[in-house]
Amino acid sequence: MSDTTDEIESGAGLYENYLEDQRLIKERAREKDILISIIDRRIEIAKDVCICNEGIHDGNRIDCGCFHHK
């Protein structure tokens, strides 16, 4: 093989590694966004949690007589 062919193959390998690194970065960012949205949702649910032990408190529905749910 010539030096030029070796350089082309080396460059192609580097580019493939670069593309794989970019794919992993995007995948990690997507996973991070998903995790953040899950945490945000749980925080929103927790804001509505009532500890009065009356009625339904399942995170989706709140059916009790507490003043802060009206």
* 24-66 pLDDT, tens digit each: 999 999 999 999 998 888 777 666 566 666 655 565 555 666 6
pLDDT of res. 51: 63
Q: Are 54 and 65 in contact (CB under 8 A)?
A: yes
Q: What is the pLDDT of residue 70?
A: 43
Residue 13 DSSP class: H
CB of 56 within 8 A of CB of 49?
no
pLDDT at 20: 97
Higher pLDDT, 52 or 3: 3
